[in-house]
Amino acid sequence: MGMKNVCLGAAVVALMCTPAAAASRLVSVGYTTPSALHGLRVVQRIDALHTAEVRVPNLRGERQLRARPGIRFVQRTQARRDTGGPAFPTAAAAAVPEWQWPALHADLVPAWVSAAASRITIAVIDTGADTTVPSLAAKNPITYNIVTGTSTVHDDVGHGTFVASLAGGSISDPNGMSGFGGDAQLMIIQANRGGTGFSDIDEANAIVWAVDNHANVINLSLGGSQTSLVERSAIQYATDHGVLLVAAAGNSAEQGNPTVYPAALLGESGLAVGAATAAGTRAPFSTTGTYVDVLAPGVDVLGALASGVSSGFFSPIATPGATGNYALGSGTSYSAPEVSGAAALVWAANPSLDAAGVAAIIEATASGEGRWTQDLAFGELNIAAAVQRATGGPAPQLDKPAVLAKPVTMSKPKAHAATTTHRVKAPRAKIKAAPRHAHP
């Protein structure tokens, strides 16, 4: 992919690695007023969070920055990688490449709900997108590039294009691929700085931009094994503004099953999504934990293929009669946007819902029928049932172990809360950006 230090592990393992060390280093800095940044090498600033990314020359410079007046905290930036992986198509997938739509009963959603979704905006924060592919071009998406500060986006990886097509691909072309969000407005925010690499501050900057530009649902098909104050603050900012966050749970169940962020931070107003197979079971690679909410197809999923991109992480597939090029991909990266699209439909069906209400309906109508298990979470998404519940069904009844609010520390991830029974998912405590000098 033309990027140094990309971790090319086994299939469907998340791409989460750390860039090579350099003489200078990037840190995220919390400040009280902008004047506290005077004289510093500021790479980017997030005014809404009073946070900036700063380049320091060495460890000594980092220590001096910690002691600077008006600086609330200094932390090393955290790597974020996409949560997709190579596809190995099965015979069944090759025969019926669009299997994920009937599997989630998306074909049973009333047409009026799909049309009403036009008032909902889904933001995809990712590697950008090839907006010339038919399923995206027809949506005329809102675009923004965090790195350049312009509306010009591209996708040298293909991941963002694939994800965006699943979340909000156009449903108007009978010969093209339909996304799960009906007529929802699509917002594409490019946050990578080459290859598949992100940082937590790039992610946070993109989240704030999406919120400030009226996104209703934000899809985060990216992750890492460490969190930070800036990431937590951005998640809280979105939650405080009534935005529903949907994040991939990660692909590391077979590599020690580490906690994955930002999925583990979402709380009751968000949805952490694992990957399901065509049989509705959890994909072996899909990360588990008390923070995981639902499953959606994540093995041999059909999505749009960006032009001119290496197919190393996708398997191109023939779709006779269809407009555009398509491929199969595997990973929780591709499960999350299906849920983001479903959330847009649920919200369109009942605009009086808030983000927590949309999440609760999706959880309650999944295949687990309101009961949570460690292996399947609330079960596989059922879009038609969620939409039906949103239009007047009974209030969701959920049975899930509590997800405890994690303390704000930047060392190794904390252990999950032990699995209990007959407890409703607890809301996550608000994260206060208190002055501190934590170190990841």
Give the active site residue among 333, 335, 340, 416. 333
Give the active site residue among 28, 50, 82, 126. 126
Residue count (the chain): 440
Map tokens 């009844």 to a residue.
Answer: 397
The Cα–Cα gap between 385 and 376 comes to 18
Q: Are 282 and 368 in contact (CB under 8 A)?
A: no
Q: Are 261 and 227 in contact (CB under 8 A)?
A: yes
The Cα–Cα gap between 168 and 248 comes to 16
Give the active site residue among 130, 156, 159, 165. 159
Annotated catalytic residue 170: no
The Cα–Cα gap between 363 and 357 comes to 10
**Lookup: tokens for 238:** 């979105």
Of 190, 170, 108, 127, nearest in space to 386 by CA: 108
Annotated catalytic residue 126: yes
Query: What is the pairing mode between strands 79-82 and 121-126?
Result: unpaired
Annotated catalytic residue 159: yes
**Lookup: tokens for 268:** 């009751």
CB contact set of 82 (below 8 Å; sequence gap of 6+): 14, 15, 126, 127, 157, 159, 196, 221, 222, 331, 333
Biggest CA–CA distance in the chain, Å, is: 64
Question: What stretches of 313-393 show up as alpha helix (H) in DSSP?
Answer: 332-349, 355-364, 383-390
The Cα–Cα gap between 147 and 96 comes to 39
Question: What stretches of 23-158 show up as alpha helix (H) in DSSP?
Answer: 59-66, 91-95, 100-103, 111-116, 134-137
Q: CA-CA-CA-CA torsion for 277, 1, 340, 254, nearest 10 degrees?
A: 40
Exposure string of 386-413, with b = 16+ CB inside 10 Å and e = fewer, is bbbbbeeeeebebbbbebeebebebeee
**Could you list the active site residues?**
126, 159, 333
